[in-house]
A = this chain, B = another copy of it.
Amino acid sequence: MKSTPKGMRLHIGLFGRRNVGKSSLLNALTRQNVSIVSNVAGTTTDAVEKPMEMLPIGPVLFIDTAGIDDVGALGEMRVQKTRQVFDRTDIGLIVAEAGLWADFEEAIFSELQQRHIPVVVVFNKCDIAQPAAEHLARFSEDGVPCVATTAETGEGVLDLREALIRTVPDEFINPPTILGDLVPSGELAVLVVPIDMEAPKGRLILPQVQSIRDILDNDAYCMVVKERELRDALDRLKRPPALVVTDSQAFLKVAADTPEDVPMTSFSILFARFKGDLGEYVRGTMAIENLMPGDRVLIAESCSHHPIGEDIGRVKIPRWLQQYVGGKLEFVHTQGHDFPEDLATYKLVINCGSCMWNRREVLSRIMHCQQAGVPCSNYGLTIAYSLGIFERALRPFPSAEEIYREMAPEISSTGL
């Protein structure tokens, strides 16, 4: 029962041709203090995801790109499924046969470099051949860790682990806080958690659990309450809380029951910052102002669940957006790692809360939208905007509020 959410794991993309020893290398790492939790088949890609506990790094997810394992597949490297692997790779691990570094390896290396993804190069099968001195010199010059291994015997595998540990991004070692900066140590946050039909028996959804944990990790504490009991819960306090966070679906009720001087926002907006780029999302959200009936809107969900009842992505957001726009919009839905190659036909892209994506994947999506010139938002920001409480929900985040004010000078600063 003790497993780390997938989106919080360090994603290590494993690239290399067929028969270069990728599996042996993974097994060799496994024997050395790595425990395989389980194999999870990728939902929409050919890549196989292997969650592991790799001390001292902690929870990692190896993405085994068996699908692009030879030069033949190289021509396809920019197609969607492969791009999806790069889109979520925190560290790229390129495995080459000792002495063999050719166009295939170079293409992967250059894709990773362009994306500023840290790389570790492994020359495997060193019992058969030696890495070329020119290759070693080149990576050493570029400051790219380069390790010689013989996976079969375990030779060099400890060096590889050390290289991986040295390459772990700071962001993973000192992850950003979800709301720790908004709720000082010893302070109180109130989390408003509606229980709807989609909430599974005996569970809370992941962003709620992660927020509670983040608050505790920051030596603060929280009150967890449904929207109906919020007013009583606030009345019970001698001093108001430092922050009220609500599920976006209860935004209006919570905004009404939270005193105007108490900071208030939503889980989705917190996660826009934690796992994405809040400023960029604010800019993207304000494109709602220019939506016209008939425009195409992409709604991208990270998890595949059976929509039940008033599903937020299928029913509520379309309804609220269309009410705001005053006419029918054309909605397209994607799930999991799927994301359209051609974004140009969309007037707006709305990501979900992104429970199942890592931060790199969300940032990659934002990047693709920027490149295509398409505004990008998420559920919480879209709902807040459609319901007219955008400014209030942004108030806890001064730089995001600033972007809003610059873009909407005609809107009064007094809030609702």
Give A184-212 as 1s and 0s: 1 = Cβ < 8 Å from B's Cβ atoms: 00101000010100111111111001101
How far apart are A267's CB and chain B's nearest CB, in angstroms?
14
- Interface residues on chain A, number (Cβ under 8 Å): 53
Residue A106 interfacial (CB < 8 Å): no
B222 and A224: CB pair below 8 A? yes
- Give the nearest-CB partner of A206 in chain B: B1
Q: Which of A121-129, A149-157, A226-234 faces chain B?
A: A226-234
Residue A236 interfacial (CB < 8 Å): yes
- Give the nearest-CB partner of A225 in chain B: B221
How far apart are A134's CB and chain B's nearest CB, in angstroms?
41
Residue A35 interfacial (CB < 8 Å): yes
Q: Which of B35, B199, B210 contacts A306 (CB 8 A)?
A: B35
If A202-B4, A205-B2 touch, whether A186 touches B224 (CB-CB below 8 Å) is no
If A3-B200, A202-B4 touch, whether A186 touches B229 (CB-CB below 8 Å) is yes
How far apart are A106's CB and chain B's nearest CB, in angstroms?
36
Give the residues in chain B near A186, CB-CB below 8 Å: 229, 232
Residue A137 interfacial (CB < 8 Å): no
If A195-B216, A303-B1 touch, whether A236 touches B233 (CB-CB below 8 Å) is no
- Give the nearest-CB partner of A302 in chain B: B1
Residue A146 interfacial (CB < 8 Å): no
A226 and B237: CB pair below 8 A? no
Interchain CA distance A239-B58 in the complex, whole Å: 42
Q: Which of B206, B220, B224, B306 contacts A229 (CB 8 A)?
A: B220
> Which chain A residues in 1-29 approach chain B with CB under 8 Å?
1-5, 8
Beyond contacts A4-B202, A202-B210, A202-B214: 9 other A-B pairs, Cβ-Cβ < 8 A, are A1-B206, A1-B305, A2-B198, A2-B200, A3-B200, A188-B233, A219-B229, A221-B223, A237-B238
Closest CB pairs A-B (n = 8): A221-B225, A8-B202, A2-B200, A202-B210, A4-B201, A221-B229, A223-B223, A4-B200
